[in-house]
A and B are shown apart, each in its own frame.
Chain A
């Protein structure tokens, strides 16, 4: 399809501009409008963005949609303009952001009674930042949108300004992410110094036949650091738990469901488009696989050690980011496809769980599983939703998490990492098991009455987000939760989901086609990928295995005191966990020190083998 001058390319710009305009209008008029109108306008804007991006995604299947803003079309492959490019992965993840913002706004219908339109305004700006970040084809614009979504996210994190943990979490989040962004900007500057241009297609052409010298490696490390700070890779992950635990629950949905995966998306987008030819594949693959495995394990262990339910979910997000890095870090088409499916399935399941955590908070005024032991036994639907969410997080087929996990495992095996399925299964089982343990305690009253000394992140002091604790779940809260779970099921059940992900991944990693389409406006026809079914027998079996292990983990945790045999083993484990917990100090200076150390490690991983 000819992509420069059609109406679809206008939609690329509109899907960024519309939420910004709506946010400005709400900010100006919000004081005078009744609350229902504010809720309605915000939700309608998000729905409009979803519609536009859905149309774009349908178009992107036939070739990338390209918009040189202000018609600064390239001549002979050169332009000083900036470009928006909608391919399947970019529009897909932007669409995911739109859907989650819409559902979060529905969930927060008549939520936060006291606010004017500030909350809605920030949500829409956040949406604009995420959509722009996903659709832009310009490295400097990526920095700008990174900071736009960052600023909106910091403000949303600290939205409950009366809550001491919220403001501290927002400050840690803001300082770490912004410092990461500035490090990235240094890298962007280095690339500009070498190439004289910052659009991704032109960077691709300039570095296509370049060898990896010190400047390119330094730029790569700096840019990747910025995106993986957002993507919460260990050791850049410390801000995530602090921010997620304290942000309002509808905001957590956006953080875990799409903002953090966007960081991973950007890291791989830049790798494939700019650096893939310059830096040896084996080098980068080793980096992502080692750090991904570390992230997954640290996240899973910390997840199991939490009693604050939102913090528990936050660490589970870190664990799953590790799995995304493992899958996509294989640097193959099927690995990328696995990561895409996993991100989609995870977004549905994790977002539903966060909204359920909000239900717990607004019903009991606490998210501490020790405090709330047996409190939810009389609920009818909620407890089963929690249980289903825990099993889905562990990768129970046919949820989207299971298919993403299965495809990722296959990709790991075919790249020669025999241990990768073990990590996938273990991490899924541990995170799912942690959710099931909390569910068992709070909603089924299973196991022994837990003891547990009080520590600062227990979650019992968490501030409810509605003026009066709810006696029953509002329908506007229930519908988004069910929609998200059904969405996660759809990723696994829709025939052709796997095939579509393979095609999207193929286009995602085909950097030269991206550059040609963006710079000439002529469609490049890629060879179609062979049709693949959704499920393999081994995938289903490993999914069932991890779900069963999750139940076992939960049971072992619930009945730990009765199982005396485990005592000696667990006390050693406890000491190790305590040491790991102590590293998560909540001190922003420590986090910055870890970030600098992590950058050095990244540099060593990428740079040293090249000498």
Chain B
């Protein structure tokens, strides 16, 4: 069953990339980039998941030290990943707004300032 999670992750990554390729609007392209990144969340969480395991919170009566828990590290990585994503998305959206101000369009097909 686990393999489906990985396939979903790869699919989401490719969908995001395809979205950027076909994008007619830079804001849409930046959102597609976030979609591509959400593939990494799916991937990381799928790696840490274990069926019939509890959350990695020890010390409560329900979780004794040797019960099996899901991998705690990948959650930390996913959180870091989300922070990185928020930074990059915010920055790129700000740049997209600026592109609109300077070029009067956000359609990549109409931006011809960097050809050749």
**Which residues from chain A sit less than 8 Å from chain B, CB to CB?**
80, 140, 144, 147, 150-151, 154-155, 158, 161-165, 167-172, 174-175, 178-179, 182-183, 185-186, 189-190, 192-193, 241-242, 245-246, 305, 455-457, 581-582, 584-590, 592-593, 595-596
B91 A175 Cβ-Cβ under 8 A: no
Docked complex Cα distance between A582 and B114 (Å):
11
Least Cβ–Cβ distance between A585 and chain B, in angstroms? 6
Please give, as numbers and ranges, the residues of chain B lying within 8 Å of A192 by CB-CB distance: 44, 47, 73-74
Please give, as numbers and ranges, the residues of chain B lying within 8 Å of A170 by CB-CB distance: 95
Least Cβ–Cβ distance between B108 and chain A, in angstroms? 5
Please give, as numbers and ranges, the residues of chain B lying within 8 Å of A593 by CB-CB distance: 21
Least Cβ–Cβ distance between A119 and chain B, in angstroms? 16
B40 A186 Cβ-Cβ under 8 A: yes
Docked complex Cα distance between A64 and B115 (Å):
46
Query: Which 4 residue pairs across A and B have the least CB separation, nearest first?
Result: A586-B114, A164-B102, A581-B116, A589-B21
In the complex, chain B residues 59-116 whose Cβ is within 8 Å of any chain A Cβ: 73-74, 77, 80-81, 84, 87-88, 91-92, 95-96, 98-99, 102-103, 108-109, 111-116
B99 A168 Cβ-Cβ under 8 A: yes
A167 B99 Cβ-Cβ under 8 A: yes
- Find A189's partner among B37, B40, B108, B111 (CB 8 Å cutoff): B40
B91 A154 Cβ-Cβ under 8 A: yes
Docked complex Cα distance between A172 and B111 (Å):
11
* Given A241-B114, A456-B116, 13 additional A-B pairs, CB 8 A: A155-B91, A158-B95, A168-B113, A175-B29, A175-B92, A178-B37, A183-B13, A185-B43, A457-B115, A588-B26, A589-B21, A589-B23, A596-B14
Please give, as numbers and ranges, the residues of chain B lying within 8 Å of A455 by CB-CB distance: 115-116
B99 A588 Cβ-Cβ under 8 A: no
For B, the interface residue count at a CB cutoff of 8 angstroms equals: 45
A586 B23 Cβ-Cβ under 8 A: no
Q: What is the 8 Å Cβ interface bit string for chain B, positions 17-34, against chain A (1 contact, 0 not)?
A: 100111100100110010
- Find A586's partner among B81, B84, B113 (CB 8 Å cutoff): B113
B20 A147 Cβ-Cβ under 8 A: no
Q: Which of A163, A245, A588, A593 has the largest count of B CB atoms less than 10 A from its CB?
A: A588
- Given A154-B92, A174-B88, A178-B33, the answer on whether A189 and B44 have CB atoms closer than 8 Å is yes
- Find A588's partner among B10, B20, B37 (CB 8 Å cutoff): B20
B113 A456 Cβ-Cβ under 8 A: yes
Please give, as numbers and ranges, the residues of chain B lying within 8 Å of A150 by CB-CB distance: 88
B33 A179 Cβ-Cβ under 8 A: yes
Least Cβ–Cβ distance between A191 and chain B, in angstroms? 10
- Given A168-B111, A175-B33, A185-B40, the answer on whether A147 and B116 have CB atoms closer than 8 Å is no
Q: Can you offer 5 A-B residue contacts whose CB atoms are under 8 A?
A: A165-B113, A171-B92, A179-B36, A587-B111, A589-B29
Q: Which of B39, B40, B44, B114 has the largest count of A CB atoms less than 10 A from its CB?
A: B114
Docked complex Cα distance between A410 and B115 (Å):
38
B114 A189 Cβ-Cβ under 8 A: no
Please give, as numbers and ranges, the residues of chain A lying within 8 Å of B95 by CB-CB distance: 154, 158, 167, 170-171, 174
- Given A144-B80, A189-B47, A587-B108, the answer on whether A174 and B92 have CB atoms closer than 8 Å is yes
Please give, as numbers and ranges, the residues of chain B lying within 8 Å of A190 by CB-CB distance: 43
Docked complex Cα distance between A590 and B116 (Å):
13
B39 A182 Cβ-Cβ under 8 A: yes
B116 A582 Cβ-Cβ under 8 A: yes
Docked complex Cα distance between A592 and B16 (Å):
10
- Given A189-B44, A455-B116, A456-B112, the answer on whether A171 and B26 have CB atoms closer than 8 Å is yes
B114 A182 Cβ-Cβ under 8 A: no
Closest to A306 in B: B116
Closest to A157 in B: B95
B30 A175 Cβ-Cβ under 8 A: yes
Docked complex Cα distance between A74 and B77 (Å):
20
- Find A592's partner among B21, B26, B47, B73 (CB 8 Å cutoff): B21
Please give, as numbers and ranges, the residues of chain A lying within 8 Å of B81 by CB-CB distance: 185
Docked complex Cα distance between A464 and B31 (Å):
33
B29 A588 Cβ-Cβ under 8 A: yes
B114 A165 Cβ-Cβ under 8 A: yes
